[in-house]
Structure 1
Amino acid sequence: MRIKIIKEIFKKEVLDIVRDRKSIFMMLVVPVLLYPIIMMLLMGVMNTSVNKMTSEGIKIGFSSKPSKEILEIIDVENQKREKEAYLGNIKVENNVKNYKHKLEKGDIDAYIDNSSSKSDYKVYINSASDESGIKSNTIFSIMNKYKVKMSEKEIEKYNLNSEKILEPIKYKKVDITNNAKKVGILLGQVIPFVLIIGVLFGCIYPAIDVMAGEKERGTLETLFSLPISNMELVIGKYLAVSISAILTSILNIISMSCTLGYFMKAKSIYDLSEIKINYTSLGGSIFITIISIILFAMVVSALAMCICSFAKTFKEAQNYITPLMLMIMVPAYISMIPNIYLNRITATIPVINISLLIKSVLSLNTNMKMVGLVFIVNLIFVFISLVLLSKIFNSEDILFGEKRNFKLIQSRSSMKKGSIPGISDGILVYVLAFLSLLYISPILMMKIGIFGNTINQIILAMIPILVAIYIKADFKKIFSINKIKIIDFIRAVITWIIGLILMSLLTGILIKIFPEQIEVSKELNNIIKSSGNIVTQILLFAVTPAICEEILFRGFIFAAFRDKKTFGENDEKYIAFAIVTSGILFGIMHLDFIRIIPTSILGMIMAYNVYKSKSIFSSMGIHFLNNFMSVVAVNITTTAIICLI
């Protein structure tokens, strides 16, 4: 891939997006002007409505003349209300007939039947005409005061202390939640939905324009006739759409923050001026929110482009994109539902995980393990979306023809014996393995315990083997099945020792920064110790991963990412690219936040040894040796911080 070409495609697409009025409207006008105006209008209408309700006064109808105690309480309430210029008085009407008709017409706000008994009252209201509940709350407050007053009167008949009897204890509510967290909880219910919708609107019109718009204008054919690869074209267009979605979401954040700041300074029915926000504590939450939105924008942009690629006109693309909007908008409401939080299950569900992550970080209730899991899951979905997009761009029937015969994997009959997988094949295998780890492994572990993880390890090895069989691959070349020399074995041991030292240092630093993550290491230690005797532990945690994971990563994925077409036939950069990328993907697969960086480094060391020795047995040896030492360490001491991979 040529960076210069991608830059030119990116510039061209950005200019096209900027020229399109609909895209500019959705990217700039909606977040910068429309949202604040709508929020101000809503707040103004709500203030006006509440002021109107309170200034109208309250009319209470009685079936007969009320007791003097009730009238005294109403008089005291009216004296208080007269001090407030905007509050209307409470009026009383006696001997009301046909109360239902009067309640429906609004002649009275409540009817109190006091004819049957002095101690048994029925209060009739019409909630349809008092939606806010302001009037009914005042009426029931009067009745409660009347009840207390009559209780005191009855108790005093027996020369008893009514205060001690009615209030034997006193308590005071003390909320330990700080103001920043209160604000975060309030914002965490609404902001995720608004941001997700902002991203959706920010990418839809650019995606339609760069795909269906290009077809309608007849310029897509011209692009394909240029001396550029399909992948360069895909990435250039994808970056342009993603940037527009990210820009829209950032403008949404700025716009909402400014609008919120305005309301905090101004008086409203929700008097936010009393709330003091600790902006330093919210800084980390805002940073995580921005990263989450960027990842989400990348996923949605790729999906929108995939869908729009099936349309031939702008109007047709708008029809196709509607189901995607519904699929994203409905799960986005999850942040508004109470008692639903981010956990290991919800963190793996697209859209829901982003919504709940933003809700949790704004509520200052951040679990870094869950944050890492959400980031990893969304990165995987970015990979999936890009694989689909690249496959679509390689299908001219989809882009230009009437046919719809889209194939994720090339037909086996068109492949030659001894084929070598490309990057898209490597990503596809990684995605399948990741989905197996994410969804199949937990089910197996619930059913058969730790042995379920071993079965999933075998599945991880079978995925690349089956794909290699399908593409008629050269097994010896792809999986580097060669004898290992003594010099290669010595190099492997030395580099592993260096890697182990580096991993231990990084793990120590990460635990210092995130001390709560030491629980992850303790959980892992307990899992190992509870799996059986030391021989069983070695088989489960050293032998099986050393074989299965190496077949997947240093076998198929490393071979796929060594595809010379990525950087050009004579450019050796593809080796470094394959070593680094396969190592990072290996680290991500381990999911736990504290293990991702150290494991990625050891993954790179193992890939380097496979490249130098041309034998997968060098990485299998390192993998086994590392995990074997970890298992031994767990059995020797309970405080070991192991580097299991």
Structure 2
Amino acid sequence: MIFTIFKKELTDTLRDRRTIIAMIVVPILVFPIILGLSTSVSKYFDDKQKEEVLKVALISEDTDNQFTQRLSAIPDSLGPKELIFRQDTIGLKKEISEDSLQLAIVIPADFDQQQKENQQSTIQVFHKGVNLGNKDRVEGYVSIIENTLLEDRFERLSLDKQLIDPINEQYVDISSKKEVIGKVAGGFLPYLFIIFGFIGCMYPAIDLFTGEKERKTLETLLTTPVPRWKILVGKMLVISLSGIAAAVFALVGMFAGLRLFNLVDIPGINEIIDGILTPSFIVGLLILLIPLTIFFAGIMIPATIYAKSFKEAQSVLTPVNFIIFLPAIIGMLPNIELDYTTAFIPIVNIVLATKEMVAGTIDFVLLGISYLVMVIFAALSILFSYKRFGRESNIVS
């Protein structure tokens, strides 16, 4: 009987265009579209910035000092520049604020004498902070000039560069690229399937309970000689399956965007993705998704039973979004690891366990605890739903 109810409700759910869009179309397309757009936009602005001619005013009484000479000699690898020589700062700030100038560098008149005496020279750089990238470019120019002046200074003093660098650090990172990505970006994966898993559960839950109340078919269903708990379980299975499907399609869309369409230009990204998408990882992820989506269904059903309209159900579930997403965000924070404390915190443990699975450093004892905790919470949510579903006042609108 549970399977009959499940089959009937699943058929009705798959006929709902809104549910199909939320469960399949949006999850599988949203990540490639977002990733493709963000990559294209970033590349466009980077290329545009490199092509933009940077107008730099050089203010000094001596326009032929070493700084201006070396700046003029820098090739346009950091972007084209136009040097404008000035002898005072009159109207300088106004020109920069109006973007007729992008940068201004005030060079001391005795710059060459200071360098000849091996002293430190102070230059002032005027820029507009809201114009991102301009400061980085001038820092690149100054760094090149500083290195050349330093070489001249050491050559003039007949000194070895190692005198100012007594220690040569060599950092050997024993972490694999997979571990680094798992720790840095692995938290995004569970956040993604938590979002779409929740959304995938939400629309079927509203339709199967609030929708049936609006259509006056829920009372008819309850008059059939079927125990109420079987009706609840049949509907809950459809809601959970929709959430799992939405989460899986979201992950498929993400990995397709990374792997098939090469939307991110990271060396070795394809090999890392292939290393992550192992059968054990996929099975482990699905095992974690099952109690998670059941938990989602269990907390949604009482809200959708209580609501009297589709709009009211959406309003009731909106605050629940924040309650669910907050622990997901906490799990993404750095330096929060899966241990014997966080393994007992629902949703946070799923996020952290997934990060460890992506990195390949999962502790199976902690994974088992995390899974058991989510199973307990899923069972409690089912019990709560059953008690709310059993109240006549909630069912009859």
3-state DSSP class of the match of 1:218?
coil
Q: What are the equivalent positions in structure 2 for 1:341-356 lying under 5 Å apart?
A: 341-356=337-352
Cα RMSD between the aligned structures? 2.3
- Alignment partners' CA distance in 2, 1:214 and 1:290: 30
Q: What is the one-letter code of the residue matched to 2:84?
A: E
Aligned 8 A contact 1:350 1:378 in 2: yes
Superposed CA offset, 1:189-238 (max 9, x none): 32221111010110000000111001000110011100000111111011
* Residue of structure 2 equivalent to 1:276: 271
* Residue of structure 2 equivalent to 1:221: 219
Aligned 8 A contact 1:32 1:255 in 2: yes
Task: Check 1:388–1:59 CA distance in 2 against 1; reply closer, same or farther (3 A cut).
Answer: same
What's the TM-score once normalised by structure 1's chain length? 0.56
Superposed CA offset, 1:538-582 (max 9, x none): xxxxxxxxxxxxxxxxxxxxxxxxxxxxxxxxxxxxxxxxxxxxx
* Residue of structure 1 equivalent to 2:58: 62
How many equivalent pairs are there?
Answer: 384
Say which of 71, 74, 77 aligns to 1:74: 71
**Percent identity over paired residues:** 29
Task: Check 1:275–1:398 CA distance in 2 against 1; reply closer, same or farther (3 A cut).
Answer: closer
- Alignment partners' CA distance in 1, 2:64 and 2:352: 54
- Alignment partners' CA distance in 2, 1:372 and 1:121: 60
Bigger relative CO (Cα 8 Å, ≥ 6 apart): 2
Q: What is the one-letter code of the residue matched to 1:292?
A: L
Q: What is the one-letter code of the residue matched to 1:285?
A: F
Q: What are the equivalent positions in structure 2 for 1:586-601 lying under 5 Å apart?
A: none
Unpaired runs of 5+ residues, structure 2, are: 112-120
- Is residue 381 from structure 1 mapped to residue 374 from structure 2 by the alignment? no
Aligned 8 A contact 1:58 1:91 in 2: yes
Higher alpha-carbon Rg: 1
Cα drift, residue 274 of structure 1:
6.4
* Residue of structure 2 equivalent to 1:338: 334
Superposed CA offset, 1:252-287 (max 9, x none): 1111111111354x6x5x434566327356523343
- Alignment partners' CA distance in 2, 1:175 and 1:146: 32
- Alignment partners' CA distance in 1, 2:4 and 2:203: 21
Say which of 260, 281, 287 aligns to 1:285: 281
Say which of 229, 234, 237 aligns to 1:231: 229
Cα drift, residue 335 of structure 1:
4.0
3-state DSSP class of the match of 1:344?
coil
Aligned 8 A contact 1:185 1:363 in 2: yes
* Residue of structure 2 equivalent to 1:411: none
Tell me which moved more, 218-227 or 320-329: 320-329
3-state DSSP class of the match of 2:50?
helix
Q: What is the one-letter code of the residue matched to 2:141?
A: I
3-state DSSP class of the match of 1:191?
helix
* Residue of structure 1 equivalent to 2:125: 123
Q: What is the one-letter code of the residue matched to 2:381?
A: S
Task: Check 1:53–1:178 CA distance in 2 against 1; reply closer, same or farther (3 A cut).
Answer: same
Task: Check 1:24–1:172 CA distance in 2 against 1; reply closer, same or farther (3 A cut).
Answer: same
Aligned 8 A contact 1:348 1:377 in 2: yes
Unpaired runs of 5+ residues, structure 1, are: 82-86, 402-645
Aligned 8 A contact 2:201 2:239 in 1: yes
Superposed CA offset, 1:560-605 (max 9, x none): xxxxxxxxxxxxxxxxxxxxxxxxxxxxxxxxxxxxxxxxxxxxxx
- Alignment partners' CA distance in 2, 1:394 and 1:187: 43
Aligned 8 A contact 1:63 1:111 in 2: yes
What's the TM-score once normalised by structure 2's chain length? 0.89
Task: Check 1:274–1:53 CA distance in 2 against 1; reply closer, same or farther (3 A cut).
Answer: same
Cα drift, residue 41 of structure 1:
1.6
* Residue of structure 1 equivalent to 2:116: none
3-state DSSP class of the match of 1:94?
strand
- Alignment partners' CA distance in 2, 1:281 and 1:350: 24
Aligned 8 A contact 2:97 2:128 in 1: yes
Task: Check 1:382–1:274 CA distance in 2 against 1; reply closer, same or farther (3 A cut).
Answer: closer
Superposed CA offset, 1:313-335 (max 9, x none): 11111111111112112332224
Q: What is the one-letter code of the residue matched to 1:147?
A: E
- Is residue 153 from structure 1 mapped to residue 155 from structure 2 by the alignment? no
- Is residue 112 from structure 1 mapped to residue 105 from structure 2 by the alignment? yes
Task: Check 1:274–1:208 CA distance in 2 against 1; reply closer, same or farther (3 A cut).
Answer: closer
Aligned 8 A contact 1:180 1:282 in 2: no
